[in-house]
């Protein structure tokens, strides 16, 4: 009895997975719970165990391809007692464009192969059926449309995209490539190539999107497309703060059990500035500017495949030590791929830290749909004019990219100066990091 193995749901917020590596080949026997395949998602990588004992008959999704949860990825011939699990009438048998599994086993009885060899007519939703009628799509044409829905179902978007492509001149427009679902993994064979700008030359290599990369690509493009970005940068003299921190960080570490990072000071100061300038902690909507009451502070963290922004909830209600502990915890969870959906949701403002990698001036992209993003650049020892002399000071550039629909440059610079004054005016109370 051949049974389809489906892409499992690997967490609350995960709705698709990439096949990393098949651990069994067709024809291999698998024991119940024996690892069958490595599945990669934007949050976790797992080995998926076989749900029952049997023989792997067919691999339906190749390594590297991404499919939505619930898609059939393999067929396993179940061992013993399989007949009891007869397929319900009317349920399509595993569609197998490839030849039925070859059995090089001579005299042994062959597994029953479904008598139906003609590919079943695709099952269409009412809306898709209507679109097919309205646009007079032939069955062949319909069969050529790659389905992006669950189990490869053809959705409304698939049909509309197909019609759009047909209508367009032979050279496809770049706009079609920007459509979010245009980036689904193509079904094997026969479908149209996604529009590309230039033909690949010899040696060029197409790297398929990982879920994280795709999410970043879509969000960045959306932000730049919809939000008119404007920028401002100021210099902040961090000498006093940095010295104080150097002097006491070991003490703090011993007492609080956490490395009180400069980022924590920065978040503390920025959260206060957001209270003073609530229009920075806002979102543009067609009806007006939505001032967000809560200050949920996102901090960008680099992860192997890209970037993720865990969120410190109610950052304005937390002290430097509390912020440092939370940032450290979130960053560790981010790097281990253990962030929950809640950890990355609800942000109202974002800090990015390109300075860690040495950038001295940055023009970040706003974390859509927020109103602004703060960029902390590298702290550089610079000769600075102090009074009539020149001193060596620790200087950092602090940049703000902001949605010019929401507020103007004057507010942006006042907001930045509010942070600057707090950091430069840092007057430590004894050995405490709080200010």
Partner 1 sequence: MADKRFLDAIHDGLYEEMARDASIVLLGEDVGKKGGVFGVSEGLYEAFGEARVIDTPLAESCIVGVAIGMSVNGLRPVAEIQFADFIHPAFDQILSEAARLRFRSRNDFGCPIVIRTPYGGGVHGALYHSQSIEAFYAHIPGLKVVVPYTPADAKGLLVAAIRDPDPVLFLEHKKMYRSIRGEVPESEFTVPIGPAVVRRPGRDLSIFAYGLMTHEALGAAGQLQQEGIEVEIVDVRTLRPLDTKTILESVARTNRALIVHEDNRFAGFGAEIAATIAEEGFRYLDAPPTRLCGPDVPAVPFSQPFEDWFMISAEKIVHAARAVVAY
3-state secondary structure at position 346: coil
Residue bearing tokens 């096949």: 19
164 lines the binding site for partner 1 (CB under 8 A): no
Cα separation, 3 vs 76, in Å, equals 5
For partner 1, give the closer residue by CB, 209 or 231.
209
One symbol per residue from 173 to 202: x for binding partner 1 (CB under 8 A), - otherwise; what is it? -------x----------------------
99 alpha-carbon distance from chain centroid: 37
408 as an active site residue: the answer is yes
Among 177, 247, 276, 341, binds partner 1 (CB under 8 A): 341
Q: Which region, judged by CB under 8 A, interacts with partner 1, from 12-20, 194-202, 315-323, 425-433?
A: 12-20
Catalytic residue among 15, 336, 408, 418: 408
259 contacts 249 by C-beta, under 8 angstroms: yes
155 lines the binding site for partner 1 (CB under 8 A): yes
For partner 1, give the closer residue by CB, 153 or 249.
153
For partner 1, give the closer residue by CB, 70 or 319.
70
For partner 1, give the closer residue by CB, 77 or 158.
158
380 alpha-carbon distance from chain centroid: 32
204 as an active site residue: the answer is no
One symbol per residue from 102 to 131: x for binding partner 1 (CB under 8 A), - otherwise; what is it? -----------------------xxxx-x-
**Among candidates 365, 359, 399, which has minimal Cα distance to 379?**
359
Residues 6+ apart with CB under 8 A from 200: 206
Among 4, 15, 163, 384, binds partner 1 (CB under 8 A): 15
Among 23, 46, 68, 413, binds partner 1 (CB under 8 A): 68
Cα separation, 220 vs 214, in Å, equals 10
149 lines the binding site for partner 1 (CB under 8 A): yes
Among 345, 361, 421, 432, binds partner 1 (CB under 8 A): 345
For partner 1, give the closer residue by CB, 344 or 416.
344
210 lines the binding site for partner 1 (CB under 8 A): no
By DSSP bridging, strand 349-352 and strand 372-386 are parallel
Residue bearing tokens 């651990």: 23
What is the DSSP annotation of 232-296?
EEEEEE-HHHHHHHHHHHHHHHHHHSS---HHHHHHHHHHHHHHH-GGGSEEEETTEEEE-SS--
- Other beta carbons within 10 angstroms of residue 393's beta carbon come to 19
Cα separation, 376 vs 352, in Å, equals 6
Cα separation, 154 vs 258, in Å, equals 52
Shortest reach from residue 113's CB to partner 1, in Å: 30
For partner 1, give the closer residue by CB, 21 or 130.
130
Shortest reach from residue 162's CB to partner 1, in Å: 15
395 contacts 235 by C-beta, under 8 angstroms: yes
- DSSP class of residue 68 equals E
For partner 1, give the closer residue by CB, 50 or 223.
223
Shortest reach from residue 348's CB to partner 1, in Å: 11
163 lines the binding site for partner 1 (CB under 8 A): no
For partner 1, give the closer residue by CB, 127 or 356.
127
Torsion region of 11: left, alpha or beta (phi above 0 gives left; psi -120 to 50 gives alpha): left
For partner 1, give the closer residue by CB, 29 or 178.
178
Find the binding residues for partner 1 in span 354-383 (CB under 8 A). 369
346 lines the binding site for partner 1 (CB under 8 A): yes
66 lines the binding site for partner 1 (CB under 8 A): no
Shortest reach from residue 150's CB to partner 1, in Å: 5
Q: Where are the beta strands (DSSP E) in 61-165?
A: 66-68, 72-78
In order of 95, 150, 174, 311, the CA distances from 121 in angstroms are 11, 16, 32, 47
331 contacts 259 by C-beta, under 8 angstroms: no
In order of 47, 175, 176, 186, 249, the CA distances from 164 in angstroms are 39, 11, 8, 17, 60
**Among candidates 365, 249, 238, which has minimal Cα distance to 300?**
365
Shortest reach from residue 1's CB to partner 1, in Å: 27
Q: Which region, judged by CB under 8 A, interacts with partner 1, from 26-34, 55-63, 66-74, 255-263?
A: 66-74
380 contacts 392 by C-beta, under 8 angstroms: no
Find the binding residues for partner 1 in span 213-272 (CB under 8 A). 215, 218-219, 222
Q: Which region, judged by CB under 8 A, interacts with partner 1, from 11-19, 47-55, 257-265, 394-402?
A: 11-19
Q: Which of the residues are catalytic?
A: 404, 408
Which residue ranges make up the site for partner 1 (CB under 8 A)?
12-13, 15, 68-70, 125-128, 130, 149-150, 153, 155-156, 180, 215, 218-219, 222, 341, 345-346, 369
């Amino acid at each position: 009895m051949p049974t389809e193995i489906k892409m499992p749901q690997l967490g609350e917020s995960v709705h698709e997975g990439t096949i990393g590596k098949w651990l069994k080949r067709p024809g291999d026997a698998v024991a119940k719970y024996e690892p069958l395949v490595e599945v990669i998602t934007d949050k976790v990588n797992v080995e998926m165990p076989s749900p029952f004992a049997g023989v792997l008959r067919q691999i339906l999704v190749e390594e590297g391809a991404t499919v939505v949860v619930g898609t059939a990825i393999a067929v396993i011939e179940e061992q013993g007692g399989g007949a009891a699990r007869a397929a319900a009438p009317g349920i399509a048998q595993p569609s197998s464009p490839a030849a039925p599994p070859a059995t090089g086993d001579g005299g042994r009885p062959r597994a029953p192969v479904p008598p139906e060899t003609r590919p079943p007519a695709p099952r269409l939703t009412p809306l898709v059926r209507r679109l097919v009628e309205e646009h007079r799509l032939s069955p062949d044409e319909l069969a050529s449309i790659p389905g992006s829905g669950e189990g490869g179902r053809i959705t409304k978007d698939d049909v509309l995209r197909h019609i759009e492509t047909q209508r367009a001149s032979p050279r496809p427009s770049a706009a079609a490539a920007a459509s979010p679902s245009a980036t689904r993994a193509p079904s094997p064979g026969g479908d149209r190539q996604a529009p590309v700008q230039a033909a690949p030359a010899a040696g060029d290599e197409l790297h398929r999107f990982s879920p994280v990369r795709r999410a970043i690509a879509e969000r960045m493009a959306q932000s730049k497309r919809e939000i008119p970005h404007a920028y401002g940068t100021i210099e902040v003299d961090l000498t006093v703060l940095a010295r104080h921190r150097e002097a006491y960080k070991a003490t703090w570490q011993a007492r609080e059990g956490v490395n009180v990072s400069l980022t924590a000071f920065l978040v503390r100061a920025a959260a206060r500035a957001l209270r003073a300038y609530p229009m920075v902690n806002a979102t543009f909507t067609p009806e007006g500017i939505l001032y967000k009451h809560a200050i949920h502070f996102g901090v960008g963290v680099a992860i192997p495949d890209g970037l993720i922004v865990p969120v410190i909830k109610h950052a304005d209600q937390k002290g430097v030590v509390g912020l440092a502990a939370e940032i450290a915890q979130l960053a560790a969870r981010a790097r281990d791929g253990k962030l929950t959906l809640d950890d990355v949701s609800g942000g109202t403002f974002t800090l990015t830290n390109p300075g860690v990698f040495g950038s001295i001036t940055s023009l970040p992209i706003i974390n859509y749909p927020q109103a602004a993003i703060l960029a902390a650049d590298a702290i550089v020892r610079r000769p600075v004019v102090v009074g009539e002399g020149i001193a060596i000071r620790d200087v950092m550039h602090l940049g703000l990219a902001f949605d010019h629909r929401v507020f103007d440059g004057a507010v942006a610079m006042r907001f930045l100066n509010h942070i600057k004054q707090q950091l430069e005016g840092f007057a430590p109370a004894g050995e405490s990091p709080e200010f």
